[in-house]
Amino acid sequence: MHYDVINVDFVMVDYFWTREFKGFVEGLLRDAPSLLFLVGLQGSGKTNALRAIYSFMLGKGEGCFYWRWGEEDLRKWEGYLKECRFLLVDLPDYGADGGGRVRKDLDGIGSLWYESRYGVKYARRSIVVAVQKELFRAHYLLGKGEVFELRPLTPEEFLNYYFRKFRSLEPFDVHSFELVGRLSRGVFRRFMRYVRLCVLDMKERGVEAVGVGDVGRVIGPDVIGRDMDLELSGFLRGMERGLAAPIISTLMVEGDINQKDLAARLGASESTMSRLLGKLEYLGYVSRVHGERKELRVSIKKWYD
For the structural domain made of 8-149, what CATH number should be given?
3.40.50.300
What are the domain boundaries of the chain? 8-149, 155-300
What's the pLDDT tens digit per position in 201-254? Answer: 999 999 999 999 999 899 988 888 888 877 787 677 778 888 888 888 888 877
Mean pLDDT of the chain: 83
Identify which of 105, 102, 92 has the alpha carbon closest to the alpha carbon of residue 136.
102
pLDDT band at 7 (very low <50, low <70, confident <90, very high): very low
Three-state DSSP string of 138-161: CCHHHHCCEEEECCCCCHHHHHHH
Residue 290: how many other CB atoms lie within 10 Å? 9
The pLDDT, as a whole number, for residue 24 is: 93
Give the CA-trace dihedral at 238, 275, 155, 94, to 10 degrees. -30
Measured CA to CA, the distance from residue 301 to residue 241 in angstroms comes to 18
Q: Give me the half-sphere count of Cα atoms (radius 13 Å) on the Cβ side of residue 26.
A: 7
What's the pLDDT tens digit per position in 26-55? Answer: 999 888 778 899 999 888 899 999 999 998
Measured CA to CA, the distance from residue 129 to residue 50 in angstroms comes to 9
pLDDT band at 123 (very low <50, low <70, confident <90, very high): low
Domain made up of 155-300: CATH architecture: Orthogonal Bundle (1.10)
Helices (H), 142-258: 155-166, 174-183, 188-205, 212-218, 221-233, 238-254
pLDDT exceeding 70 applies to what percent of the chain? 91
Q: Which residues pair with 39 in a beta bridge?
A: 131, 149
Measured CA to CA, the distance from residue 130 to residue 91 in angstroms comes to 6
